[in-house]
Structure 1
């Protein structure tokens, strides 16, 4: 009996510490020859090929920073979160959306088939507004809007259930929650705007703009365009950190992609000016090497996920305003990202998932979302070369 117990203990120890050792070796040697590229085209092809590969099996962005006894986190459900994975896939799809080759289009179609069944419903129903980014990506890539409408309606239902009395959409389903997150702008605003245009539901366009307007009013640092991670809707006081890099990314995704989907109107002109003010402001925070920080105003920090989104943001700003400086900012971002791309084509140094308001990850690794936005920006800029 004792021998059996010892044997079982040894097997469990091998499994538990074996997993830890695997990730240790992987993290130790994955950056071998990082950033060594012959030219821009070689780098871009690698970025695209990895993005296509990841549509088949998207890497997990882990919930925890823990690097010890990881099997226990996996068993307890503290390693992976489907909500996080939703916007990872959404970012990948948005990147591949800019590709015109057959391989990319086939990858997109196969992924959508995996996500949406033959009746137009979600294969796995989402539970959180994170699904807004993925829904937006699918809606942009779909050839049959009527067929996927049941799934899109389901995403809209989730957003509507999270609507609060102040007109803002809460991140969680608890309408009494005392937080309004900047993440929500990136997740839902472009989707609501596109849904409004395609299905003729004007009220969702208004809801989209209301999120942006209220966040501009209560969520930005006075006399700057730096968003806080969240704010309290009751006392209008900030919660967390101003200028968190990926929070800035969610903010500018909300602005720029909503603008792109909007029909011409007075509201669109107002948003256009908002975008220009933001673009002019954030130039001051770009690091000398072209990157942006995990805290934007702290140039000693760096985050590839924030840098990738801002590369995309400035590429679109150049399209809108035809100001050469914006294109230069975008290209500098991409040069920095190129220098931190592994030889496999995986963009590195992306800040991991946030644990709570103001509690940011200390893990910097790969992230499919950032991979997609890098591809998105790089392909748009390639057209101008």
Structure 2
């Protein structure tokens, strides 16, 4: 009888695990996404940007990550991948990464531009606790994805003149320099055979902002050398759109040429540098012209612009933010928010961000909320007039 009971219990446990991994984990994100779509904002009001900002601040006060980092793989595959170091993103990885970094930056810039000192002070307290200025063991700098946290630190330094923000930025800068490979290119991850366009969106805005605090060293030259490499080897010469990555040894383009968030990473870097120096104007205008042809009838963009697919908030907000740096493109807050209205949740969240990408030609099919898109939208709003 003990053997029978043991077999029955094992069978029950296995059935529960199969049901959870093969059914619940697969179908729940899709159900949740559908439910969120029905709870969108009805009217754009003067207070809507503040509602979006308040939602962003509320997100940062929790330790819950919104971004979809892993897709359900089914029980058997989950079991086989348990020992893989790439299997699952840890809680630390999800929190101390670019989505939350750009949300902090978007909020800091929004509160500065709207002169909301009270909210900026509130954000400062949340940021200080998150980084761990009172507890040096909280934040471990170990990824290029963390560099955008330095953007917030520098904004807070400009506003409050507290040296801790500059020291933190110095540590991030040291990490960038250590990430330069033998070929002079900053690596996204150590030992990778390809260099990703994602990398540009992580370090270029930070180095440009940090440049004025670095004595006797022109960081813009380093930024230009990186952009030169990617433009020479990774850009389609007719459309000016970037491939996902460049194979390091052969200099061959790899990955999708129209991955939306990848184009966004490139544009974030290119537009920041263009604003600072006026250089790469041909490349900047070339990308804008191609994206203008690839937008949907709503005037927005998909996960893969020009292809059949869902609206992607991460691509669209990154594009619009980058466009705002071009002197000939005129936008205002109401115009942008009315375009995005079908994808703005009633609580101020922006919906429909594609999940984390696993590598060239390996993209997520999950969509949901993300700190990154929320932050990009706030950066965009901070650039625009009412």
The TM-score bracket by the shorter chain reads 0.7 to 0.9
Give the number of the structure with larger relative contact order, counting CA–CA contacts within 8 Å between residues 6 or more apart.
2
CA distances 1:329-383 after superposition (whole Å, capped 9, x unpaired): 98765433221122222211111100111111111111110011112212432x2
Establish whether residue 372 from structure 1 lines up as the match of residue 381 from structure 2: no
Quote the Cα distance in structure 2 between the aligned partners of 1:107 and 1:37: 29
Query: How far apart are residue 33 of structure 1 and its match?
Result: 3.2
Establish whether residue 90 from structure 1 lines up as the match of residue 96 from structure 2: no
Comparing 344-353 and 111-120, the one that deviates more:
111-120
Query: How far apart are residue 252 of structure 1 and its match?
Result: 1.0
Cα distance, 1:113–1:9 mapped onto 2, change above 3 Å: farther
Cα distance, 1:227–1:334 mapped onto 2, change above 3 Å: farther
The answer to whether the 8 A contact 1:311-1:331 is kept is: no
Query: How far apart are residue 172 of structure 1 and its match?
Result: 0.7
TM-score, normalised relative to structure 2: 0.83
Residue 297 of structure 1 is matched in structure 2 by 306
Residue 173 of structure 1 is matched in structure 2 by 190
Establish whether residue 26 from structure 1 lines up as the match of residue 26 from structure 2: no
Cα distance, 1:361–1:338 mapped onto 2, change above 3 Å: same
Q: 2:174 aligns with which of 136, 148, 157?
A: 157
The answer to whether the 8 A contact 1:63-1:355 is kept is: no
Paired residues for 1:327-366 under 5 Å: 327-328=330-331, 334-366=337-369
The answer to whether the 8 A contact 2:67-2:355 is kept is: yes
Query: How far apart are residue 297 of structure 1 and its match?
Result: 3.0
Residue 295 of structure 2 is matched in structure 1 by 286
Quote the Cα distance in structure 2 between the aligned partners of 1:220 and 1:336: 29
* Corresponding residue SS for 2:110: coil
* Corresponding residue SS for 2:289: helix
Cα distance, 1:293–1:191 mapped onto 2, change above 3 Å: same
Query: How far apart are residue 80 of structure 1 and its match?
Result: 4.4
Residue 122 of structure 2 is matched in structure 1 by 107
Quote the Cα distance in structure 1 between the aligned partners of 2:246 and 2:294: 23
Quote the Cα distance in structure 2 between the aligned partners of 1:168 and 1:376: 28
Query: How far apart are residue 82 of structure 1 and its match?
Result: 4.1
Quote the Cα distance in structure 2 between the aligned partners of 1:43 and 1:67: 38
Query: How far apart are residue 274 of structure 1 and its match?
Result: 4.0
The answer to whether the 8 A contact 1:352-1:362 is kept is: yes
Cα distance, 1:294–1:23 mapped onto 2, change above 3 Å: closer
Corresponding residue pairs, total: 368
Residue 88 of structure 2 is matched in structure 1 by 78
Quote the Cα distance in structure 1 between the aligned partners of 2:162 and 2:274: 21
Query: How far apart are residue 244 of structure 1 and its match?
Result: 0.8
Query: How far apart are residue 269 of structure 1 and its match?
Result: 2.8
CA distances 1:124-151 after superposition (whole Å, capped 9, x unpaired): 2121111112222322233336323442
Cα distance, 1:314–1:40 mapped onto 2, change above 3 Å: farther
Quote the Cα distance in structure 1 between the aligned partners of 2:332 and 2:294: 11
Query: How far apart are residue 45 of structure 1 and its match?
Result: 3.2
Q: Which runs of 5+ in 1 are unaligned?
A: 263-267
The answer to whether the 8 A contact 1:189-1:209 is kept is: no
Q: 1:248 aligns with which of 251, 254, 263?
A: 263
The answer to whether the 8 A contact 1:290-1:332 is kept is: no
Establish whether residue 307 from structure 1 lines up as the match of residue 307 from structure 2: no
* Corresponding residue SS for 1:228: coil
Comparing 127-136 and 359-368, the one that deviates more:
127-136
Query: How far apart are residue 5 of structure 1 and its match?
Result: 8.7
The answer to whether the 8 A contact 1:304-1:349 is kept is: yes
Quote the Cα distance in structure 2 between the aligned partners of 1:24 and 1:229: 27
RMSD of aligned alpha carbons: 3.3
CA distances 1:101-145 after superposition (whole Å, capped 9, x unpaired): 245313320222123344795732121111112222322233336
Comparing 106-115 and 271-280, the one that deviates more:
271-280
The answer to whether the 8 A contact 2:145-2:202 is kept is: yes
Residue 265 of structure 1 is matched in structure 2 by none
Query: How far apart are residue 185 of structure 1 and its match?
Result: 0.6
